[in-house]
Amino acid sequence: MPIRETAGSMTPASGAAIVVWGMDVYPNVLTTAEHVARATVSQSIRKRPDASPALDCRLRSALMDGPEALDALVGAEAVDRRDGVLALLRIHDLHLAPLEDLAGSERWQHHPAIADLKWRLERTFLDSVCAYDAVRTWTLPTDPVRALRMIAQADRVPAVYQWLATRCSLRQLVRFIELEGGPDGGFDDLVAICQISLDGDAKLELARNYWDEMGRGNATQVHTELHRRLKAALGFRTLSRREQPLEALERSALGSLLATNRALQLEMLGALGLIELQAGPRCRRVSAGLRRVAAPLDSLPFYDEHTAADPIHGKHWLERAIAPLGVRRDASAKIIEGARWRSTLNARFLERAALLVGGPARFDADSSAQTPAG
C-alpha cells in the first residue's frame, strides 16, 4: 500500500498530483506557473473573508489569517458530519502533509484553538466510527492474531472486486481506482509513524515492510512511483476531497487520526495489519480486471506488486509485530478494536464506491465473524 491522499481545496488541481491519506491531493512537483497560480489563489483568499458557515471553510481562512481568526474558532461546530470530517482532515494535514503544501500554516499545528478543534472533532468522529461498528455483530477471540485473521476473512473479497475482475467496463474500472486511491493511501508514512517506540521483532518487521514500500532501494519500484505510472497509463485524475464521498473521507480520517494520536498506536497496529491481510486477494481481482479490459501494460505493476507482496506482509505482520505485543490483554483489545474500525469503515467505503461506479448494489460480504470468544 502506498499512496497518499490530498490536502484538500487549498491547492488548485494539477497534473502533478499524487493521492495522500487514503483518501485528497498533494501536488508532487510544481512548475513555475503552478507556483505563481498557487500564490495568486492564496493571496485572493486572504483578501476576502470566507462568508461560508462551513467549519472547514472557516478553518481554511483562519489558518491563513493567523491568531485572532484562529481564536474565533474556539467552540465552533461543524454544520454536518461531512463538514466535520473535512475540517478534521485539514487539521491532520498540519501534522502529516508535505510542508510545501501548507503555505506556512503548519506553524499553527499546536495553537490552542486548533488543539480544541482537533480534540472535539476527533471525539465526534470516533463516536461515529464506534456507532457504525456496533451494528456489526462481532464475536471474536481475545487473541489478536486469531481475531485479525477472522476479521480479514469475513469480508476478504467483497463482491465489487469480483465484478471488477469479470464484468465491469474499462471506464468503470478506472473510476473505481480513482475512488479507491491504491489499495490504500499513505501506507508508507503510516508504517513509519507506527514503529515509533516499538522495539524487538515488532520494530524490525515494520522496518522490513517499509523497505518494501520503498521498492527495496530501487527508486523505480517505490510503491508511490508505481502508482504514478498506473495513473499516467490509465489517464485518471486525483480527486479532491470535495469530490470524494463521505465514506472515502472517513476512511482517510481513520488513518490520520491513528497517526496523530500516540494513545492509539496499538489500534493503528491492528488497522494496518488488517490492510495487509486483505490487500493481496483484492489487488489480484483488480489486476485481472485490468488485463481483461486490455489496459496499458504500465498500469499493471502497481496491483501486481501488491498481489504478490501483501499476503507475505500480512502473515509476517501478524506473527512478528502483533503476536509479541498481543500477550498483554490491554494491548490485545486495542489491536483488535483498530482492526474492527478499519474493517467497518472500509466496508462502508466499498459499498458506496460500488454504487458510484455502477457495480454490485451491496457490500455482499459477511458482516460478522462468528466464533466462540476465547
Domains of the chain, residue spans: 17-133, 137-357
Q: Please give the single-letter amino acid code of residue 246.
A: L
8 pLDDT band, cuts 50/70/90, is very low
Q: Please give the single-letter amino acid code of residue 24.
A: D
Contacts of 85 (CB under 8 A, 6+ apart): 125, 246, 249, 250, 253
Least confident span in 76-90, 143-157, 350-364 = 350-364
Residue 153: how many other CB atoms lie within 10 Å: 14
Residue 122: how many other CB atoms lie within 10 Å: 20
Beta-strand ranges (E) seen in the chain are 17-19, 25-27
Instruction: Please report the sign of the dihedral spanned by the C-alpha atoms of residue 280, residue 281, residue 282, residue 284.
Output: positive
Kindly state the cell numbers that stand for 137. Answer: 455483530
Query: Which whole number is the average pLDDT over 66-79?
Result: 97
Contacts of 158 (CB under 8 A, 6+ apart): 282, 347, 350, 354, 363, 364, 365
Higher pLDDT, 32 or 180: 180
Give me the phi and psi of 370, to 5 degrees please. -105, 110
Q: What is the mean pLDDT of the chain?
A: 86
Q: What percent of the chain has pLDDT over 90?
A: 78
Give the three-class secondary structure for 162: helix
Q: Please give the single-letter amino acid code of residue 229.
A: R
Measure CA of the first residue to CA of the last residue in the chain; give whole Å: 32
Q: Does the pLDDT value for residue 1 go beyond 90?
A: no
266 pLDDT band, cuts 50/70/90, is very high
pLDDT digits (tens, 9 = 90+) for 96-138: 999 999 999 999 999 999 999 999 999 999 999 999 999 998 9
Query: Which whole number is the average pLDDT over 177-200?
Result: 88
4 pLDDT band, cuts 50/70/90, is very low
User: What was the pLDDT predicted at 183?
Assistant: 56
CATH placement of domain 137-357: 1.20.910.10
Grid-cell match 499493471, residue found: 300
Query: Which whole number is the average pLDDT over 187-200?
Result: 96
Kindly state the cell numbers that stand for 280. Answer: 493481496
Q: Does the pLDDT value for residue 184 go beyond 90?
A: no
User: What was the pLDDT predicted at 182?
Assistant: 65
Grid-cell match 464484468, residue found: 167
Q: Which of 113, 159, 151 is nearest to 359 (CA)?
A: 159
pLDDT digits (tens, 9 = 90+) for 233-265: 999 988 999 999 999 999 999 999 999 999 999
User: What was the pLDDT predicted at 51?
Assistant: 55
Long-range contacts at 162-165 (CB < 8 A, ≥ 24 apart): 162/285, 163/354, 163/359, 163/360, 164/285, 164/286, 164/288, 164/289, 164/359, 165/285, 165/286, 165/288, 165/289, 165/292
Q: Does the pLDDT value for residue 285 go beyond 90?
A: yes
Task: Name the packing angle between helices 329-357 and 159-166 (round to 10°).
Answer: 40
363 pLDDT band, cuts 50/70/90, is low
Q: What percent of the chain has pLDDT over 70?
A: 82
Buried b / exposed e over 252-277, threshold 16 CB at 10 Å, is bbbbbbbbbeeebbbbbbbbbbbbbb
Higher pLDDT, 204 or 367: 204
327 pLDDT band, cuts 50/70/90, is confident
User: What was the pLDDT predicted at 361?
Assistant: 73
pLDDT digits (tens, 9 = 90+) for 199-216: 999 999 999 999 999 999
Q: Does the pLDDT value for residue 150 go beyond 60?
A: yes
Contacts of 196 (CB under 8 A, 6+ apart): 265
What does the CA dihedral 198, 201, 206, 210 come to, rounded to 10 degrees? 130
